[in-house]
Amino acid sequence: MIRTYIELFLAFLKIGAFSFGGGYAAMPLIQSQVIDKYGWLSTKDFTDLVTISQMTPGPIAVNAASFVGNLVGGVPGAIIATLGVILPSCIFVTVLAYLYNKYRNLTIMQGVLSFLRPTVVALILVAGIDILLPAVFPKGVISFAPGNVDVRIIIYFIAALIAIRKFKVGPIKVMASCGIAELIAEWLW
């Protein structure tokens, strides 16, 4: 069990150290660690993890660490994984705050920040696609053949996008509405 705790700590330490740009940008790295490298979760379980992490308060990476840690090693595993994911941030933020305050007016600092912005957007896009594709194509094959596409998911996605972008509805209300709509749809069918 100690080996599992060490693996949890190191996996989430890596996630915490290399997850620039927030929770969505961390998703590809979390996926590579918990599915590909260690096999702690299946792809479907990972999609559920993203949903749970999004619905619970707190940063996605911390919620994911707590969830996976608890699943793999119980409460001690959750604590160890969570410590692993937050430790790099605590160190990086302290050092970066000092450096930023000291050198914020330098041209090179502005250049680095402008370079990181599109990179973060790309990471978020990849995470979104990795979450969207298994939801839309539940059989795992990207094909628009009848029975291979979950049309309700597409409807929820478009409705959520319109609600958030056009009508400025808050994400919590949109998630709750989609969840209620799915409960009603499951109840009716």
Long-range contacts of 44-52 (CB under 8 A, 24+ apart): 44/134, 47/131, 47/134, 47/135, 50/131
* pTM of the complete model: 0.63
C-alpha torsion angle, residues 110, 114, 116, 118 (rounded to 10) = 170
**pLDDT tens-digit profile of 117-175?**
898 888 889 888 888 898 899 888 889 888 889 999 999 999 999 999 999 999 999 99
Separation between Cα atoms, residue 154 and residue 130, nearest integer Å: 15
Query: H or E element: which one contains 122?
Result: helix 107-136
**pLDDT tens-digit profile of 31-72?**
999 999 999 999 889 988 888 888 888 888 999 999 999 999
Identity of the residue numbered 96: L
Tokens, residue 107: 């041209």
Q: Is the separation of the CB atoms in 85 and 62 below 8 Å?
A: yes
Tokens, residue 181: 């709509």
Q: Tokens 């700590």 sit at which residue?
A: 9
